[in-house]
Structure formats: C-alpha cells, structure tokens
Amino acid sequence: MTSFRKPVRRVTVEPLGHTFGSDWKRALVVTLNAGDRISLRPHGTRREVSILAADVYRYVLRCEANRSLLERARARKEAKATRLARQRQERAERRLVEPIG
C-alpha cells in the first residue's frame, strides 16, 4: 500500500437513481483525501459531503450485524408460523375425530 498526498478522485459507473431527486442522472464523484476523509458529490456539482473512513467502516459493520440479526429473526418467525399452523391443523383434526356428545 502507498500513502498519498494529493486527493484521488474516481467517478462511479452507475448514476445515483431516482431516489436522489434532481441528481438522479448524475454519477457520484468519490474523493479520497489525506487525513482519512472520503468526500462524495454528484458529478457536475459543488455539493460535497465528507466522512471519515473509520465512520464508513463502522456503518458497514453495523449494517452487516443488523442484516444477520434480521435474518435470524425471520427464521424464528417462519419456524413459529410453521409450528402454529401445525398446531391449528392438529386441533382441527382432533375436533373432527372426537365423538359428538
């Protein structure tokens, strides 16, 4: 790895998309600045936002943790739904088989 003194800029391949309002057709310009800062701005504008690289890493780790937690919760919910459906079916079958009276 090499450290750098001058900013390194790259433009994304895909445009931002319709969720970004009037900038939906614009690509994103990503700049790696000295001091571990990452700057982002829509191509052709001066509206720049910056964040520390460590904060981006923290955010990604949190997203992965939340995703695994959500997957486990969905699996538990599916298992519970299956169990309750089986119990409902067994109760209904028992009512059919029980003698009347």
Mean pLDDT split into 10-residue runs, the chain, 101 residues: 84 94 95 93 95 97 98 98 96 84 61
Q: What is the DSSP letter of 23?
A: G
- For the chain, the structural domain boundaries read 8-97
Largest CA distance in the chain: 90
As a whole number of angstroms, the distance between CA 72 and CA 16 comes to: 31
Query: Which pLDDT value is given to residue 49?
Result: 96
pLDDT confidence of residue 101: 61
pLDDT of residue 24: 94
Kindly report whether the global pTM for this prediction surpasses the value 0.75: no
* Structure confidence at residue 97 (pLDDT): 84
Residue 69 CA, chain-centre distance (Å), reads 12
